[in-house]
Amino acid sequence: MPLGPPSSAIYLQNAAPGFISTPGRTPTSVTVHPVALFSILDHYLRRNDAQDRVIGTLLGTRSENGEVEVRSAFAVLHSETAEQVAVDMDYHRTMYELHHRVNPKEVIVGWYSTGSNLNTYSALIQNFYSQETTPHQAIHLALNTGVEEGQQAGVKAFIGSPVGVNPKPENCVFVPIPCELRFSDAERSGLDLLTSSPSTPGSATFTNPASDLEVLERSLQQVSDMLDRVLAYVQSVLSGKVKGDAAVGRYLMDALGPSTEDLERGEFNSHLQDTLMVSYLANLVRSQAEVSSRLALVKAS
Amino acid sequence: MAATSMAAALAASLPAPQAAPTPSAPTYEAIPASMAKVIDIEAEIPITSVQLDAMVVSKIIKHAKEAPGSSAHGLLLGLDLDGTFEVSNSFPLPHHSNDEDDKSVKSVARYQGSMLRSLKEVQADDSVIGFYQGMALGSFFNQTLVDTQAIHQEKLRHGGIIIVHDISQTARGNASFRAFRLTRSFLDAYKRNNFSATSLIDHRLTFSAILEEVPLKIRTNALVSSFLSTLSEASVPPAAQTNPALATSSAAIPPSYSGLNLGTGNTPRNLELIVEALDNYRTEEGNLAYLQRQIAREKAKADAYVQKRKEENASRVAAGLAPLPEEDVSRLFKIPPEPSRLESLLLLGRIDAYGKSLEETASTGLVKMYAAKGNTGN
């Protein structure tokens, strides 16, 4: 899922003299896992009153084709005043080592900040993180939490490139690169759990661990609703109320066309027997276990 | 209960009395009723539910997915408030191999300490309130889990909590988180380190009485939920506006139908695990029976010896001789201690859990099969 509008700035290539752009090393796109996103939002919630924005380190992996995968993030202490910016480097190193022990595959790929204003300090911090990630380029994730009025929540990813005749650390062009949210199947179902909570935000819902059957029921219900919608659409096309869309028709054909001919009677029955057998076995095992544990409680008199 | 909540409501509606301690004599005022639920120094309010933050949910899922096997293990941080454990953060613990046990325990402790210190610096919660454990197919009963929780239940406020996360179920599209703690009767038996048959009977322990489940809530804070909903709005395809018939449900994240997958890939593995656990249980039972027989044999020997000595003494007395001294039987015969049945108890629990997960797979499989068949029928 893309996190922002597409930008053509990706085609800006860095032509600064003395800048080595080895193919495969320049990050071309960023994928963010929900863990990192939630960590950043949590950090923002826990900031000091005095802090306008919070920053932290992004951990993840790089692939050969320049895709950077941000898999987790941790907060880093920093302070910004009108005169200076300070990042607690010791803290950053300690935290990185701690994370590295659990997840040796994840390395520093860049840094995040909340709010979407990029200033001189951003360039300085970018310079610092570039040193941490050499020989690779550091990426910068600007996450707008959308709490300030008139700003939309979203995530933008940048890479920094030096600017000027003599590149200085405080000068930097932030070149936007595409950024999208990615989740695995497992994380997917976790997100379902989070988004399924009712519309009142901030409230907590009891989730009695839903059994698989309930989840299945919900999915089947959704499928049935969708079929109803498709049916309504097809019928309105047939009756001539709506002009049919050829593309939609083809998609429907593809989706509904594959017949389940191979699911013949015999095969269905044998599979049914297997499933029933497994179910019977499971019940048998469970009751045996229960009996056995009760028998242990009987006094041998 | 009703009376106290009424009092709390009343006190909350009134302006709170200013607690102004005089500098000369610090008097400890009673905590005002409105605050009594918040300030709980002695941990008197019993824990009735657990609340998981969105970040913790995603962190645990990530760790469980990446850790080898079902070894994901980490600590939960947060606080307890009015009978609810609010889990607001968590961090994974390094996967420790079994070699050089002492060293790894120490390094884990050091890791834990420095992680907590670091988290405190960025104003994250730094009080440990339990741990989480990844598992596959419902098998979380094991010795280490029980040991760890027993230690926690001693040390932590309210005894801490275990959050169990089932990887295989989550992969099937049903993120499963459950909260547990040890029951009182089990803890009592554990403290005495006595799992003999009589102790089990006294405590009425079966595998289902080892852990008690605590209701669990998932909480997405306002910022996260607003962020997620903004993202979802942005991703509505433009085609949806022109053609309302095509408008997908405007869920941010397109709905997944992993629950509808017809594959039954997990079943063989599940069956294997059941057979394995049953084998282990049989071996364990065999050991127990062997020990039991040994105990019986030694006891019979001792009894026979005592009996013989008595008869001898009786004959000596009859012959007018001084009776031989009664010797300490326990020194002559080593009666082995009664074996612990904890292991077999846990194995039974594991078998039950595997059986349950197999049952669920089978039942959903059945439904899915008929759904697919309904498609062909007409």
B171 in contact with A, Cβ within 8 Å:
yes
Q: Which of B134, B137, B136, B133 is nearest to B354 (CA)?
A: B137
CATH number, position A78: 3.40.140.10
Q: Which of residues 57-96 of B touch A (CB under 8 A)?
A: 57-59, 61-66, 88-89, 91-95
Q: How many alpha carbons fall within 13 Å on the CB side of residue A291? A: 6
First to last CA, chain A: 68
- Quickly count: other Cβ atoms within 10 Å of residue B239's Cβ: 13
Contact A158, A6 (CB under 8 A): no
The answer to whether position A17 is within a domain reads yes
For B255, the closest of A222, A260, A300 (CB atoms) is: A222
Residues A169 and A239 placed together within one structural domain of the fold: no
Q: Judge whether A206 lies within some domain.
A: no
Contact between chains at A209 and B197 (C-beta distance less than 8 A): no
Which candidate, A141, A130, A186, A158, places its Cα nearest to that of A40?
A141
Per-residue pLDDT of chain B (378 residues; tens, 9 = 90+): 444 444 445 444 444 444 444 445 555 666 666 666 666 666 667 778 888 888 888 888 888 887 766 677 888 888 877 778 888 888 888 766 555 566 677 777 788 888 888 787 777 777 888 888 888 776 777 777 788 788 777 777 777 788 888 877 777 767 778 888 888 888 888 887 777 777 777 777 777 788 888 888 887 777 777 777 776 665 444 443 334 333 333 344 555 666 667 666 778 888 888 888 889 889 988 988 888 888 888 888 888 888 888 888 888 888 877 777 766 666 667 777 777 778 888 888 888 888 888 888 888 888 888 877 776 554
Contact A190 B259 (CB under 8 A): no
A225 with A158, same domain: the answer is no
pLDDT value for B202: 75
The superfamily CATH assigns to domain B42-223 is Cytidine Deaminase, domain 2 (3.40.140.10)
Q: Are B91 and B37 in contact (CB under 8 A)?
A: no
Does residue A228 share a domain with residue A187?
no
Q: Nearest-CA neighbor of B353 among A70, A289, A22, A272? A: A289
Measure in Å the smallest separation between the Cα of B5 and chain A Cα atoms: 21
CB contact under 8 A, A41 and B227: yes
In angstroms, what CA-CA distances link A270 with A277, B359, B372?
10, 18, 15
Please indicate, yes or no, whether residues A173 and A217 belong to a single structural domain of this protein.
Answer: no
Contact of B62 with A71, CB cutoff 8 Å = yes
The dihedral over CA atoms of A180, A182, A188, A193, expressed in degrees to the nearest 10, equals: -50
Cβ B170–A190 below 8 Å, yes or no? yes
Tens-digit pLDDT profile for chain A (301 aa)?
555 555 555 555 554 444 444 444 677 788 888 888 888 888 888 877 777 788 888 888 888 777 888 888 888 888 877 777 788 888 888 888 888 888 888 888 888 888 777 777 788 888 888 887 777 788 888 888 777 766 677 788 888 777 777 767 777 788 888 887 777 766 777 777 776 654 444 445 555 556 677 778 877 888 888 889 888 888 888 888 878 788 888 888 887 776 656 556 667 788 888 889 888 988 998 898 888 888 877 765 4
Handedness of CA B57, B84, B93, B111 (dihedral sign): positive
Angle at A150 between CA A146 and CA A151, to 5 degrees: 35
Round to whole Å and give the CA distance between B363 and B259: 13
Rounded alpha-carbon distances, angstroms, from residue B32 to A192, A245, B3, B5, B29: 41, 68, 15, 13, 8
Confirm whether A199 is domain-assigned: no
pLDDT score of B37: 61
Domain ranges of chain B: 42-223, 267-376
Same domain (yes/no): A230, A122: no
Contact B375 A223 (CB under 8 A): no
Give the Cα separation of A223 and A219 in Å (integer): 6
CA distance A212 to B365: 10
pLDDT of B11: 46
pLDDT reported for residue B371: 78
Which residue from A minimizes the CA distance to B221? A202
Quick one: B23 exposed, middle or buried, by C-beta within 10 A (0-12, 13-18, 19+)?
exposed
Same domain, A179 and A220: no
Structure tokens at B329: 């039987």
Instruction: Judge if A183 and A151 occupy the same domain.
Output: yes
Of A41, A98, A145, the CB nearest to B115: A98
Shared domain for A175 and A219, answered yes or no, is no
* Residue B275 token pair: 């057979």
CB A248 to CB B354 under 8 A? Answer: no
Burial class from Cβ neighbours inside 10 Å (0-12, 13-18, 19+) for residue B335 reads middle
Local structure of B265: helix, strand or coil: coil
pLDDT at B328: 67
Would A207 be classed as within a structural domain?
no
CA distance A85 to chain B (A): 17
Total number of domains constituting chain A: 2
Strand-pair category, A107-114 with A55-62: antiparallel
**ipTM summary value:** 0.78
A54 and A25 in a common domain: yes
For residue A232, what are the CA distances in angstroms to A249, A250, B97? Answer: 13, 17, 59
Q: Are residues A188 and A234 in the same domain?
A: no
Clarify whether residues A113 and A152 are in a common domain: yes
Domain that holds residue A282: 212-300
Task: Please tell me the pTM assigned to this model.
Answer: 0.76
Domain termination residue (choose one: A192, A223, A254): A192
In this structure, are A183 and A231 located in the same domain? no
pLDDT of residue A109: 87
